[in-house]
Structure 1
Amino acid sequence: MKGAKRFSNPARDGLAKEIVALANAYGGAVVVGIDETDDHPKRARGPDPVLIPRIAACAEQMQQALDNLIDPPLAVFEVRGIEQPGGDGEGVLIIRTGSSTRAPHGHGRPPLAYMRRGSRSEPMTMRDLQSVLFETRTRGERVSALLDERQRVLAEMVRRGPGSITVHQSQPFVGREAVWFRCTLVATEDLHLRADDLSRKAAFIRPRPAGPTAFGEGGFVDSWRPRLGGVENFDSTSRQFGRWFIGDHGIVDAYGFVALDKFHGVERVFPPELFPPVALQVIALGERLRRLARRPEVELAIECEFLVYGLANAMPIGHAFADEVPVTEGATRIGPYSLGNFEDWQATFAQLERGIWHGLGLPIRKLVTFELERWLAETHPGL
């Protein structure tokens, strides 16, 4: 608070104690730079903060110090410096975490575990540890069950086949063979949205990275339609079909197929670069859900899946016919991966992108680039 160039160990440990106590309970935020009263619970003392010098550098150092101290690491953990307008770089720190899916957490060596009780951070008892471990396992089982349920939905579409799809009263896919694909994102906590909120308050559109993408040309056939537990929409061309479902408890699910074609004399060909952009679009819509629910601290889980039956050949667009790669028949499940802080979305997407290419038996031929932060700010200001 006085402009020292390093944190004292008691100050660092005291903040780590408060953060793990929040993460082991229901999440929350710590504000550093606001003086407290002696009340129980404590309150802010007056409107004038006790400003911290060089707040941007302080936030960066604090993030690194706490990351190195908390065990296991927190998936959603952010330290942000808020500068005073018109000042000289001074401000306050906001340290935020969510209810952790990896609890219990501790800090130090050996780790000391705390839990938030009202306005106090207290050492965890054995009963606390048992309860937190049970809640963590239950939450993980809920996410796994939701992902398995979306896998069954795709399997049912595959069972019916492309010929069962009707778009605009026609059936353009009858008799055509296809590669099936799914990308699903699930919030680890119920976001408590409602279908009418989703269809009325959020005009969901997809970002459009450069180049082609699976499941249509980037638009939707009609407006979002209410369905049990969420809203749905469709996108299709004469070669591909995608169903998009957004669930009110925090699900984004895109699934469908790309028809196999003949190219340069090679049968049953599809372009693999159509699929990574779908994963990016799903991440973008998942972040929209978090912002719509005002729950940026909720961790997201995302996975992809291919289903291939019979012979199929992956051939990147623009490559010679000799570059086709036979794709292994069967199901390939990629992930799930975790998205905590939104700032880490590129690392999460890189894992998915790599998994999609390698799951098809291919090296990465083309990386998807997109300014997702800018798109969110321009397309949905204020969220």
Structure 2
Amino acid sequence: MTFLNRSIDEICKDDVEELIAAETVEDSTIEFKREVELDAAGRVRDASRNDIAREIVAFANAQGGTLVIGIEESGDDPKRAKSPMPFANCYDLAERLRRAVFEIIEPKLPMLHSKAVTTEEDGRGMIVFVVPQSRRAPHRVETLRDCFRRTGSESRKMTMREIQELTLAVAAGADNLERRLHSLAESFNAAVPALRAQMNNSVPHHNFCDIRFSAVPLADLWLGKIIGKSELAPVMPSIGYEILGSRTDFNYPWGREIRTGHPIVRGHRRTTTAGGSSMVLFDEIHCDGAVTIAAVHLTERLYFGWILSQISALLCTIDMVRTYAGAPDAEYAIQLQARVSGERLKLVGNAGFFDDEYRFRGDQHFPTYSYGTRSERSLLVNEIAQDVVHAAGCQLDLDLNAEIRC
């Protein structure tokens, strides 16, 4: 079924109509609700809000799932999608319902995707919630004071033992994530001496600077064999952004046609030199969906656009990988490493919007970032870029309005 393999950003009228036409059966990953009950003032009734929150929590505490509101169910067991029940003001209601549900779930969900889908010419439609498996589980519905978990087509109350077991499993998952990010960092760091050896180190006042972005899916993905699959080559986009009223565009990478690649254990690595041997580009894609996009620079200045283009290349490559794996909204954790060897390195922009005192030095430490749906691209680019300029000592408040073109 195409519906379950599409990003929530792409779900449309045809997708929800397909669910009904196929008489889709409720199971561990999909649930239907007939309506949202409202009071006389148009507010979501507490009982309806709690019922929807229970389904969302149950998915988050299990393997994730999709809730579609506006479809009447059959009376058999398990229930099937029977007929459409579109309701008015679906866009406004979708946002109000999302806020109401979000507030009564604890701990707060790291991600909850929702979308109103118009199905009728008069603007009526349905609401779709896509709930990823949560890395902060177990969650509970505060107003019901219970945790729930999806089992088959039912969302049932969890026992204390199940809550304890899930807590331990989530902690183990966090440890596994840290180990996987560390292994990607070690893979790149081990390659750095050979990458630097390819560069012209005779230019005075130039320093080495390594910029690495690595990303790991928080859900289990498997790409199978990567070698020889052109559709699994890293994506090379362009990015447009705005600073102080000036619009700038950057393309990535440089030397895209001459990259050489070779297999690594359950993955593929590609490298190339660029900029007259002043830069080496490095990327890896692994069978488990992990991605690294990195660059080694030998320069006296680091252009802001270079970093933004790396971010855009990473996000587009993540989208390509998770779509290929059939999980287009799978959440990723992203790690940024920036390391300068020798003297401080100046951060500059095309339009001269950084002053001389803005410089990098030594190792820069950044938080782990989270990437969900494609609609989050611009916000995430701005968040990472803001941290980068702060790391260089710049207090500029960014609003890049970034546009990535894959």
Range 57-66 or range 12-21, more displaced:
57-66
Go from structure 1 to structure 2 and tell me whether the alpha carbon gap of 1:30 and 1:88 turns closer, same or farther (over 3 Å shift): same
Cross-structure match for 2:215: 185
Show the 5 A alignment for 1:1-383. 1=35, 4=38, 5-45=42-82, 48-85=83-120, 87-109=121-143, 111-160=145-194, 162-163=196-197, 165=198, 172-175=199-202, 177-196=207-226, 199-202=229-232, 204-210=234-240, 216-217=253-254, 219-222=256-259, 226-237=263-274, 238=276, 239-260=278-299, 268-317=300-349, 319=352, 323-329=356-362, 331-364=363-396, 368-372=400-404, 375=405
- Look up the equivalent residue of 1:69 and give its one-letter code: I
What do the CA deviations read for 1:300-343 (whole angstroms, capped 9, x no partner)? 111211112221331414549971545322x2221211123433
State the distance in 2 between where 1:76 and 1:158 align. Answer: 35
Structure 1 residues 151-183: Cα deviation after superposition (integer angstroms, max 9, x where no partner): 2123223344611x3xxxxxx435464111111
Larger strand percent: 2
Q: Is the 8 A contact 2:70 2:86 kept in 1?
A: yes
Structure 1 runs not aligned, ≥5 long = 166-171, 261-267, 377-383
Aligned residues: 356
Displacement, 1:206? 1.7
**Cα 1:160–1:223 shift into 2, 3 Å:** closer
Structure 1 62/179 Cα, relative in aligned 2: closer, same or farther at 3 Å? same
Which moves more between the two structures, 202-211 or 182-191?
202-211
- RMSD in angstroms over aligned alpha carbons? 2.9
TM-score (norm 1): 0.83
Deviations 1:275-324 (A, max 9, x none): 23212221221122222222134211112111122213314145499715
Residue 310 of structure 1 aligns to a residue whose secondary structure is strand
* Structure 2: runs of 5+ lacking an equivalent: 1-34, 241-247
Distance 1:322 1:301, change over 3 A: closer
Q: CA deviation at 1:201?
A: 3.5
**Secondary structure of 1:128's aligned partner:** helix
Q: How big is the shift at 1:213? A: 6.0
Q: Give the whole-Å Cα distance in 2 for the aligned partners of 1:192 and 1:335.
A: 26
- 1:132–1:197: structure 2 CA closer, same or farther, 3 Å change rule? farther
Among the aligned pairs, what percent are the same residue? 22
* 1:13 partner letter: N
CA distance 1:200–1:184, shift in 2 (3 Å): same
Secondary structure at 2:71 match in 1 = coil
* CA distance 1:110–1:59, change in 2 (3 Å): closer
* Kept after mapping to 1: 8 A contact 2:214/2:334: yes
Partners of 1:365 and 1:216 lie apart in 2 by 27
